[in-house]
Amino acid sequence: MLRREDFFNTEKFPVMRFVSRDLVFDGDVPVAANGELTLLDVTRPVVLSITGFTCGAQLDTRRAMCGAEATATIRRSDFGMNYGIPRVAGDDVKIVIPVEAMQE
């Protein structure tokens, strides 16, 4: 249901893109990523909160890697997705992005 034209329209817009302008740190730990989210060909500023940032050695290869979770809550109406608000579905959508990075 959420993939159809009235919502995320994944047939016409299969990619949701976030481009970060800068990171916010608390000491050496990233806590937020400021950037722009493009959804349904509409671009808006969004701040991703970063939690659970940790680094260590990958178990199999022993290569250095880091992981975290980035989250944001957006209003779908900000991106032109107005169908069903508020009776069928709410306006708020929580985005959760698990992140892993391995050093080459």
> Does residue 7 sit within a domain?
no
Per-residue pLDDT, 59: 84
What distance in Å separates the CA atoms of residue 22 and residue 39, rounded to the nearest whole number? 20
Asked if 48 and 97 touch (Cβ cutoff 8 Å), the reply is yes
Q: What percent of the chain has pLDDT over 90?
A: 78
Q: Name the nearest CA neighbour of 103 among 58, 36, 42.
A: 58
Which residue in the block uniquely carries the two structure tokens 């708020």?
92
> Does residue 70 sit within a domain?
yes
Q: How many CB atoms lie within 10 A of CB 18?
A: 16
Asked if 16 and 34 touch (Cβ cutoff 8 Å), the reply is no
Please write the tens of the pLDDT for every residue from 19-53: 999 999 999 999 999 999 999 999 999 999 999 99
> Does residue 53 sit within a domain?
yes
- How many domains is the chain built from? 1
Q: Is 15 a residue whose pLDDT tops 80? A: yes
> Does residue 43 sit within a domain?
yes
Q: Give the residue numbers spanning the domain of 72.
A: 17-102
Q: How confident is the model at residue 104 (pLDDT cuts 50, 70, 90)?
A: confident
Average pLDDT of the segment spanning 62-66: 92
What distance in Å separates the CA atoms of residue 50 and residue 34, rounded to the nearest whole number? 11
Per-residue pLDDT, 60: 86
Q: Is 10 a residue whose pLDDT tops 90? A: yes
Task: Say which CATH number the domain at 24 has.
Answer: 2.40.128.110
Asked if 20 and 35 touch (Cβ cutoff 8 Å), the reply is yes
